[in-house]
Amino acid sequence: MKSLEKYIGYEIYPYSFKDGNDDGYGDFKGLLSKIDYLYDLGVNLLWICPFYKSPMDDNGYDVSDYYQINETLGTMDEFKQIIHECHSRGMKVMIDFVLNHLSDEHPWFQEAIKDKNSPYHDFFIFKDPVMKDGKKCLPNNWEGFFSESVWTYVEEIDQYYFHIFSKKMPDLNWDNPKLRQEIYKVARFYLDMGVDGFRLDAIAHLAKDVTFSDSELPVNEKGIVLDTAKFSNREELYGYLKEFKEEVLDHYDCITIGEVGGCASCEEALRYVDREKGYITMAFNFDTCWENGAYGDYNKKDKDIKVNVKNMKSLFKKWYDACHENADMPIYWVNHDHPRVMSQYGNVKYHKQSAKMLITTLLFMYGLPFIYQGEEIGMTNVDYEDLDDFKDVSAQNFIRSHKDFVSEEVMLRFLRRTSRINARTPIAWSNGEYAGFSNVEPYVKVVGNYPTINVEDNLKDEDSIYKYYQKAIALRKEISSTIYHGSFELLDKENPYLFMYEKKDEEHCYWVISSFSTKNHRVQLPKEYDVLLANHKVVTRHGELIVHPYDSYVIEVKEN
């Protein structure tokens, strides 16, 4: 995959995509039936989230056998068929590779907790209890990402094991060369099968502060604190990645995108992805994903939630400035770990208009765009009324650890805005029962608005969001050279309502004008221009464009 300029990515969360065998879970059969739908949309690089055998504590990110397909999803033959069907349409397939941790039900871990002398014991990170006043205590005060300590005790061997995610997901010990070789074997297995690359899950965390000393940050009521510096972007990690690259990746024509989350600065990210000196192709950071203030304090009221357009565009610019000369980068609104972009940055009251605006804003910036499943029809956050419906380990841990002092109403409001479940509801394929996702009740409840927000209606309506995506994607491919290699400047960068930018090379100059506002605005137009894409009919007055709520335009500037 030498030049990435013509690729448009699309993330598939397979359990929620399409159920093909009526068990309530999405599966390969369902996915196979929708390859043409994806092809017609114009996307040509699929990122398929984990499909390995898994007890499903974290929807497949807890792998219990890398070499087997999870039963609910289908078979290895079906997976090969997906690769084949995609390749025969010129589409690439990138798979999610979970390599920071695996499931506690994986045989390696089962061996490790039986016997301290097992060779598998050193595949994981174990520590003896710290004795305080004759009592066994946690080895340190670190908190993981899912609202609990990173340590869980195993009685049989009288030791704690380390996990930055759920307690059913022990971290692997990358310091152990034998473990690393096992991971490389898995990578070769799938590359030899024909996959085109990996999204490398939680890659920033492979190396930990091996002193395991307490964090100096203030601890919470449980005496623990999330101090990501203790297990993110640490020096040893770059050595591991260098080895992975030299031993495996360099021998294949593949793409690798590491999830570095909100834990890497531009400088750190470049160490991963620099074209000359880096180890992987690109990094997913989440800097632009949180710009509506919904996170942090769960007591926030609806009126406190406001999109910070100014900050958001400056963050896109910051990453562009850092990367464009030295590295490729992905661009995206959100993924399976975030709320829906429609509810986050769009406006459900301007549903069609804001969904179209969002894709226009994204697509013409530098980088490889990723669409998250369901964005192409403007799917929204959940409308759940019951905390039990938030079937996600991180949401349930949050509920468990807050229920004694936070009201149900406040938790519901917070989770409806921020929970990962928002992204994981079944795709609404039609207005039929269970949104046409399945013929039986799905494993996660559908969003109540599927009678109006669904694929079937989108395919029938020439003015639909899906049809607009098709046009926008086709245009992006057509002018990709300027988009990829031209300059990128924010226009009117202090404007808190409009996200406007210019892409320019020696031959072409394009402006993208997008409104994140419910009011009308005016923008001075160039002397001569062509409108290439618009989600509203063009209205001008005295040389100014009238920008209605959530309007978006791509224009080619002929003379300014």
Nearest to 173 by CA among 216, 143, 212, 208: 208
User: Exactly one of 259, 291, 375, 389 is catalytic; which is it?
Assistant: 259
Of the pair 203, 428, the CB lying nearest ligand GLC is at 203
Site of interaction with ligand GLC (CB under 6 A): 58, 61, 98, 165, 201-202, 259, 336-337
Give the nearer residue to ligand GLC in terms of CB position, either 201 or 227.
201
DSSP E strands: which ranges in 139-279?
151-154, 159-162, 197-201, 255-261
Closest distance to ligand GLC from the beta carbon of 202 (Å): 4
CA 255 – CA 300 distance, rounded (Å): 40
Cross-strand partners of 541: 544
- What CA–CA distance (Å, rounded) separates 423 from 374? 8
Give the nearer residue to ligand GLC in terms of CB position, either 190 or 372: 372
Q: Which residues contact 320 (CB under 8 A, 6 or more apart)?
A: 329, 365, 366, 367, 488
Strands 45-48 and 52-53: unpaired
Residue type, 223: G
Paired with 545 in beta bridges are 523, 540
Minimal CB distance residue for ligand GLC: 61
Helix (H, G, I), strand (E, B) or coil at 284: strand
Minimum CB distance to ligand GLC, residue 50 (Å): 8
Interior CA angle at 373 toward 370 and 378, to 5°? 100
User: Minimum distance between the CB of residue 172 and ligand GLC, rounded to whole angstroms?
Assistant: 12
Least separation in angstroms between CB 96 and ligand GLC: 8
Look-up of token digits 């620099």: 274
Query: Residue 253: how many CB atoms within 10 A of its CB?
Result: 10
Contact 70, 393 (CB under 8 A): no
Burial class (CB in 10 A: 0-12, 13-18, 19+), 105: middle
In the complex, least distance from residue 262 CB atom to ligand GLC, rounded to whole angstroms = 11
By beta-carbon proximity to ligand GLC, the closer residue of 99 and 523 is 99
Count Cα neighbours of 511 within 13 Å in the Cβ-side half-sphere: 22
Beta strand pairing call for 521-524 and 528-534: unpaired
- From 422, 474, 482, 429, select the one nearest 456 (Cα to Cα): 429
Q: What is the Cα–Cα distance from 58 to 26, expressed in whole angstroms?
A: 15
Closest CB 184 distance from ligand GLC, rounded Å: 19
Burial class (CB in 10 A: 0-12, 13-18, 19+), 212: middle
Tell the smallest beta-carbon distance from residue 51 to ligand GLC (Å): 14
201 included as an active-site residue: yes
175 is catalytic: no
Nearer to ligand GLC, 169 or 412 (CB): 169
Rounded Cα distance between 213 and 349, Å, is: 50
- Nearest approach, Cβ of 164 to ligand GLC (angstroms)? 8
- Between 427 and 554, CB nearer to ligand GLC: 427
> From the candidates 58, 96, 201, 227, which is the catalytic residue?
201
What whole-number distance in Å separates Cα of residue 361 and Cα of residue 364?
A: 7
- Which residues are catalytically annotated? 201, 259
